[in-house]
Structure formats: structure tokens, C-alpha cells
Amino acid sequence: DTGVSQNPRHKITKRGQNVTFRCDPISEHNRLYWYRQTLGQGPEFLTYFQNEAQLEKSRLLSDRFSAERPKGSFSTLEIQRTEQGDSAMYLCASSSGQYYGYTFGSGTRLTVV
Amino acid sequence: DAKTTQPTSMDCAEGRAANLPCNHSTISGNEYVYWYRQIHSQGPQYIIHGLKNNETNEMASLIITEDRKSSTLILPHATLRDTAVYYCIANNNAGNMLTFGGGTRLMVKP
């Protein structure tokens, strides 16, 4: 068990470019979550998958954001036409059930310049 | 999720017990109390959770008052590596998100 892995760790992009992040959850975890965290704030929920199905999306997830989990294993989060306000840490977490704690990855820090 | 209130920051001497309080006066009967911590530049780490009874694991103890309106996370022998932001969350597990507040910034000092 190597924990939740996120790539890349850091991403700097120009405004207007598209970016994609990858999350590899713990292999036996069927639940996967994406959160966003800005400096000095707690993480904010973005979206949730159970297996390959995206079951919940936050209103924070504008139409420029899309997340997938094609085979119920790894997940990707894509941001199109990035804006400076998208600069944040993007965190992925997984869990094996609703009564268990989440295991978070170390996050991808996005800087939009 | 019920709203939780935590002090913004606390200090603790290394080797002493760190007692982190959390108020959740509007918690409903089916909501659990979860604690996570976040060390700088890392993702949050699950610590412990409980419903009514006190809980203990290798990391910490969780004391929940009888009326469930508040709880205390206890780190029995704080070390410098326990310096982190600690988040208290009330969650009914029926939803699929955790609502993080601002947390308590714990500074363990030598």
C-alpha cells in the first residue's frame, strides 16, 4: 500500500491554458474525492466518485472543470482555460467506505500566471 | 455537516499533552466527529473519529461530552512533528463530502 499518489506535485501554467492532474488512489478503495485548498483555508470539496460513477459535484466545479475515473481506478481532473483564481492546491483522497477515514494524497499545487 | 468551532491557534510544550477543543453544539444524533490534521505542504491525515463513546488509537484519544456538543482531541505526548493544523469535522457519513473549517494551528515548542 503506497498511499494515494498525485501527479504532478507542482504545475505552473499560463492563463488560458488547459491542465490535467492525475490521482492514483489506494487500490482497494472504491471511493475517490477531489478537493481544492487555497492558502490559509481548509480544503473545499469538489467532486466524488464511487467506482467509475461521478455521484456528486460541488457548485465550485464550474463548467471549465471536468473529472473522470474511467475504470474505477485512477482519476483525472482537467481544468480548461485556466484563470488566476484557479491557483490552489488540488487534493485527491480515497476511502473504502462511508464509515472510514479518507486517505489524502500530497496534492498538486497549481500556479496560474 | 454541523458547524464546528475551534480556537484559531494553540501552543503546547514538547512532551506534554496537547488538548484541542472543538464545539459542535448543533450536531445531530447521526453525525460522527472526525479529526484530521494537516502538516505543512502535505494533504490532510485522518486521526480518529467517534460517535458517542470515547475513542483511542495509536495517534490520539477523542473525548466526546455526554451531550455531544463538544469534544477534545488529546495528543498524550506531543512532539515537534505534531505541529500542524488540526480540523474537527461533524459528518453523518450519508453525504459524501467532509466540510473543513479553519482548524486549529497547533505549535509544539521545545
Nearest CA in chain A to B31: A99
CB pairs under 8 A between A and B: 53
Residue type, A113: V
Q: How far is B89 from chain A (nearest CA, A)?
A: 11
B43, A107: Cβ pair inside 8 Å? yes
Q: What is the pLDDT of residue B41?
A: 84
**Contact between chains at B98 and A98 (C-beta distance less than 8 A):** no
Report yes or no: B87 at the A interface, CB cutoff 8 Å: yes
Chain B residues touching A99 at Cβ < 8 A: 32, 93
User: Percent of chain B scored above 70 by pLDDT?
Assistant: 96
Helix (H) or strand (E) holding B18: strand B18-23
Contacts of A109 (CB under 8 A, 6+ apart): A9, A10, A11, A88, A89, A90
B59 touches chain A (CB under 8 A): no
pLDDT digits (tens, 9 = 90+) for A51-86: 999 998 998 888 999 999 998 899 999 999 999 999
Q: Per mean pLDDT, which of A49-58, B11-20, B87-96 is the most reliable?
A: B11-20
Chain A CB contacts of B32 under 8 Å are: 99
How many angstroms away from the CA of B91 is the closest CA of chain A?
Answer: 10
How many Å lie between the alpha carbon of B59 and the closest alpha carbon of chain A? 14
What is the DSSP track for B37-73? Answer: EE-TTS--EEEEEESSS-EE-SS-EEEE-TTSSEEEE
Q: State yes or no: pLDDT of B92 exceeds 90.
A: no
Q: Is the dihedral of CA A93, B104, B28, B71 positive or negative?
A: positive
